[in-house]
Chain A
């Protein structure tokens, strides 16, 4: 699983071809990529795709049905919500919010977790003990509960949400990087580097971490889905992104009161959450199979 990085630069196009070839043969990978592309395009071009301003309230649009229902119109393709806002525009904007939160959270968790994991795995001893005790300790808190405490103490909001989720997720990276580092540390080329007098920091960053990358990539991908779901859940509880920002969780929570008469208010953001998490999970599964074919056979 490490040759992707060890190969000399000249041979790299071959690895790329191998990756693309493998992706082309994988229904899982392609479907995942396709679903991710939909959401990412929505997020990137939200302003152009959304037919209306996501916060604009129009009295006539209140509870407007979807275009395929009786009384629906092309003005609001997916209908209007209880405040007279266009649901399509809000769902598209929601993609931006979800992806923003997910990318920021996973980046922070990845950098902090990987660094601490690499230190623990490389140096072992007291450094390892301290870092892994913190990880063990944090495992005693169920994931969402930990985020909830944060929201309770610091108050709901975007910054708290990001901090809470990143704080809850870094251990995933720390654990995988630690175990991979411990494995790689015993390989001959690391010994060779030590013998040649390469500094320890340099060994960690140029010899160990690049080879841990595939495993980190898989965790990061799957964690993006986890963050999107958690953000939606926390926002649904009123503890995440605050209204009137168009977050899928907020939209589902607001629409819940109108399930009997206007179910379409929750359907659109619900499907959006599903598309993104199914897409990312499928692609993450493909990545794992690609980097670790041993698991594929199971």
Chain B
């Protein structure tokens, strides 16, 4: 087990190193360097000024040297300085990461709270109207681009009905729970949480569609197994059979895919954060691309890839604890 964990960790490190190398070389492909970008914004800058700045930023060194320097700094948590804002990239990302993280949290919570019952019911009531409705939701969920759903929901829930805010972020909803409990005022929580609702639904819809289908087909397969027949024969309550015997096994394929779905979620946040003016790393990336702030782009990609790789690593290892059949292989 330990050997497995170590080998996976090493593999993840190699992939991450490759990601850094590829992104760094891609950025090097861009015509012009950061100094050109800065100079474009400062017409008063002379050629001498630019050379001095190049020297200061280490751009006169060879490319491998620059790469090793970047890597060395990255390991120590220094991902460079924003060209436009002159602020350390690490602090920019650290400021924005919690908003994205909490959005992902509510999205996943919402997705599973809906997908699991939907998957179970559509499997049990196969070929009924509720199953067909489930199929409809699944097709719509896979086909609906997140940004379109977001715009349509803003149109309906914010503009027509005026129930929920059209955009913005008013701090962490999770952090407000403590205060809401202490002051016995649910309004405190609601004031932060209502900003999460539309973005979370926009992101969760596709996950609900995919996961409900997966749980449905896994349930159908599990329900045919002998041990379910046996449990029924010995007179176990139907609910116990469904939840304890069937669902626990039906959820296994979801665990495998959970890591990969985090990738879809990361991609989704890029778009959804832009729609809802959400101060997360997704919007940071898009904004930086528009103004060609390469150190930020490079860092956001790096952080996203690192998150994605480590989440998949955790899922991979977790899976062996959950499913003894894999562990014994």
Q: Are A and B a genuine interacting pair, yes or no? A: yes
The minimal Cβ–Cβ distance linking A230 to chain B, given in whole angstroms, is 8
Q: Is the CB–CB distance between A259 and B159 below 8 Å?
A: yes
A220 within 8 Å of B by Cβ?
no
Which residues of B in the span 291-306 have a Cβ within 8 Å of any Cβ on A? 292, 294, 297, 301, 304-305
Whether B27 pairs with A142 at a CB distance below 8 angstroms is: no
Chain B positions 119-176 with a Cβ under 8 Å from a chain A Cβ: 139-140, 142-148, 151-152, 154-155, 159, 166
Q: Which of A144, A237, A256 contacts B151 (CB 8 A)?
A: A256
Q: Known: A143-B263, A153-B29. Contact between A148 and B143, CB under 8 A?
A: no
The docked-state distance in angstroms from the alpha carbon of A231 to that of B237 is 50
Q: CA of A78 to CA of B212 in the docked complex: distance in angstroms?
A: 36
Q: Within 8 Å CB of B139, what residues of A? A: 278, 281-282, 285
User: How far is A140 from B309 in the complex, measured between Cα atoms in Å?
Assistant: 6
Known interface pairs A140-B19, A153-B30, A298-B217; A278-B143 also in contact (CB < 8 Å): yes
**Which B residues are in CB contact (< 8 Å) with A252?**
147-148, 151
- Assess whether A151 is interfacial by the CB under 8 Å rule: yes
How many whole Å from B127's CB to the nearest CB in chain A?
Answer: 11
Chain B residues with CB under 8 Å of A141's CB are 19, 263, 301, 305, 308
A140 in contact with B308 (CB, 8 Å): yes
From known contacts A141-B19, A148-B289, A259-B151, infer whether A281 and B267 are also in contact, taking CB-CB under 8 Å: no
29 A–B contacts from the bound complex (CB under 8 Å): A136-B15, A137-B19, A139-B260, A140-B309, A142-B308, A145-B305, A148-B270, A148-B286, A151-B289, A225-B142, A229-B145, A232-B145, A233-B271, A237-B270, A237-B274, A239-B286, A252-B151, A259-B151, A259-B159, A260-B159, A270-B152, A274-B148, A277-B144, A278-B140, A280-B143, A281-B139, A285-B139, A298-B216, A298-B220
Report yes or no: A273 in contact with B148, Cβ–Cβ below 8 A. yes
CA distance in complex: A281, B285 (Å): 30
Interchain nearest-CB distance for A253 vs B (Å):
8
Residues of B within 8 A of A (CB-CB), count: 51
Grouping DSSP codes into helix (H, G, I), strand (E, B) and loop, the A interface class, with mixed when no group exceeds half, is: helix
Q: Given the complex, which residues of A lie within 8 Å of B305, measured CB to CB? A: 140-141, 145
A273-B217 contact in complex given A141-B19, A153-B27, A153-B30, C-beta closer than 8 Å:
no
Which of B145, B159, B285 lies at the interface centre, i.e. has the most chain A CB atoms within 10 A of its CB? B145
Does any Cβ of B come within 8 Å of A67's Cβ?
no
- Which residue of the partner chain, among A137, A149, A225, A239, contacts B143 with CB atoms under 8 Å? A225
With an 8 A cutoff between CB atoms, is B266 at the interface?
A: yes
**B-chain residues with CB within 8 Å of residue A139 when the two chains form the complex:** 260, 263
Q: Contact: B143 with A281, CB < 8 Å?
A: yes
